[in-house]
Amino acid sequence: FLLTAALLIALLPTQVSDIWYVSLSGDNTDGRTLSTAWNELSQINWTIVQSGDTVLVSPGVYQSSLVVGRSGVSILANDGQVTIFGGRSTPLPECGLSSYTYQTARLIGIDFNNQSNVILDGLEWSGFRVYGHNQHGIRLSGTSNTIRNVEVFDNGKAVFGGSTWYPDQ
């Protein structure tokens, strides 16, 4: 039994203040509809998103980090898989590997940015996928945040120690 974002919002017990949209096919006007949606995660106008609001992110591969700019919001995958790709296509080395070619990429996939009471939910397993970043897939900060149905892998930093690479973070 899968719930779409729209059905989930309809079932919420309290009134949602506003619904905002992010879609790669949006025209980046104001985020109020799918056609006027912000067209990248970095384009979300957090000055107009308020606590209690919901941000629906449409499926696709996003090329920017999600930096949460408001406490008390819900960020939901909207009817499919949302991928936040850091740009590093070379997988991190295994611990103890004797050589590794470093590839430049964004550092963080999702940054909670000291915001609290944020819900990040893919609505089904792997609704959000976060990978290919050179430090944190998800940087946790703030308090009482909820993360569900998010797949985080192959994020971290390959650190050269002597003659062997050791990934961390």
Q: DSSP readout, 3-19?
A: --HHHHHHH-SS--S-E
Structure tokens at 88: 């590093």
pLDDT at 131 over 90: yes
37-46: average pLDDT: 98
Task: State residue 85's pLDDT score.
Answer: 97
| Alpha-carbon span 79 to 167, nearest angstrom | 34
Residue 164: pLDDT over 80: no
- Does the pLDDT of residue 11 top 90, yes or no? no
Q: Rounded to whole angstroms, how far apart are CA atoms 75 and 85? A: 17
- Rounded alpha-carbon distances, angstroms, from residue 87 to 41, 102, 108, 138, 169: 15, 12, 11, 15, 17
| Per-residue model confidence (pLDDT) at position 58 | 98
Rounded average pLDDT over 116-140: 95
pLDDT, greater one: 99 or 25: 25
Average pLDDT for residues 53-77, to the nearest whole number? 98
Three-state DSSP state, 7:
helix
Averaged pLDDT for residues 39-63: 98
Q: What is the mean pLDDT of the chain?
A: 88
Question: Above 60 in pLDDT, residue 64?
Answer: yes
